[in-house]
Every structure is written in C-alpha cells, then in structure tokens.
C-alpha cells in the first residue's frame, strides 16, 4: 500500500510513497545495502508527477524521489473528478486501461495506479493493469495514459471549431 506523507512546506502537494526496494552489493567487508524509492506527488486538482530516487539510506532516497517528482509535474485533463474517456497506456510490458466511472464509484485500481489517481485528484475511475506488475512500470504506464488525455476544449481548439460542433 502507498504511504501518504503530507509535507509541511508552503505548497499543498499530496506526497505518496509507492515502493521502497533494497539492493545488496557484496564487497570484501560484507554487504553494502542501497535503497530505491518510488514516489508520486500531486495537488489533487489535475497536476501529478512521479520520482525515483536511489541512496544508501531510505530517507535520503525518499527525499531524492520527492524532488524528482516535483520537477516532473504534468497537467491532466479531468471532468468532475473522473476522466473524459477511456484510455490505454503502456511502458515496457506493462499495459494499463482506465475508464471513467459514475459518481460514488471510487478509485478501483491497485498499487501504483491508485497512488497516481489519488494524487492527481481522480475520485471515480475503473482501472486495470496487465503484464508486468513492477510498480515503477505501472506508474510510468499510468502517467503515459494520463498524458494522452485531452479535453473537448483542446480538441475543439485544434480543429478550429466550437465544443458544441464536436460533441453534437
């Protein structure tokens, strides 16, 4: 489960720790441990980013991941706490599918996808991940899918029409 960490800084971002991994390197004196941390940061209103940090201690790895997540923030088009339409994303062998849901459905997603949705401000969504269950790849595939989302306003502006002409 993702761990929620509220930062007490000036900005109001929700920070979630998705995964911590330990690696070991065997050297002459014994084992040297390293840690990796995967975090997701969002404002709950359509901005979300993720970060991956490595260090010899867990707190340092988490802080590095949080810094990287804040640098990689992107905007997501949302329609009343859900998505505009169904979308697919992929990264490596991980594939994700997500579709909008009615009010009161909640976030039906697992692992890293849930953390991304909660930080982005998506409250109602149905989602499924296929293939690799590696949290890093699941988060990257989810971010790929969210980056593909466009609002009807963006489609209308691109085509030079009004929203009413496109939606019918």
109 and 117 in contact (C-beta within 8 Å)? yes
Q: Is beta strand 3-6 parallel, antiparallel or unpaired with respect to 107-108?
A: unpaired
Tokens of 55: 């260090």
**What pLDDT is stored for residue 8 in this prediction?**
45
**What pLDDT is stored for residue 110 in this prediction?**
87
Element (H, E) at 41: strand 30-42
Strand order in the sheet with 3-6: 3-6, 14-27, 30-42, 47-55, 74-75
Q: What is the pTM of this model?
A: 0.87
**What pLDDT is stored for residue 2 in this prediction?**
65
**What pLDDT is stored for residue 4 in this prediction?**
61
């Amino acid at each position: 489960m993702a761990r929620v960490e509220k930062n007490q800084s000036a900005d109001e971002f929700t920070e979630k720790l998705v995964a911590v991994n330990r690696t070991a390197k065997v050297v002459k004196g014994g084992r040297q441990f390293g840690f990796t941390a995967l975090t997701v940061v969002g404002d709950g209103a359509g901005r979300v980013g993720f970060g991956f940090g490595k260090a010899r201690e867990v707190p340092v790895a988490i802080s590095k991941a949080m810094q990287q997540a804040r640098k990689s923030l992107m905007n997501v088009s949302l329609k009343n706490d859900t998505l505009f339409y169904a979308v697919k994303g992929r990264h490596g062998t991980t594939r994700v599918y997500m579709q909008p849901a009615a009010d009161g459905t909640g976030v039906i997603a697992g692992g890293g996808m849930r953390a991304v949705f909660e930080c982005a401000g998506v409250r109602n969504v149905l989602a499924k991940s296929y293939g690799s269950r590696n949290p890093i790849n699941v988060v990257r595939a989810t971010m790929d899918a969210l980056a593909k989302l466009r609002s009807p306003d963006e489609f209308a502006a691109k085509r030079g029409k009004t929203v009413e002409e496109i939606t019918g």
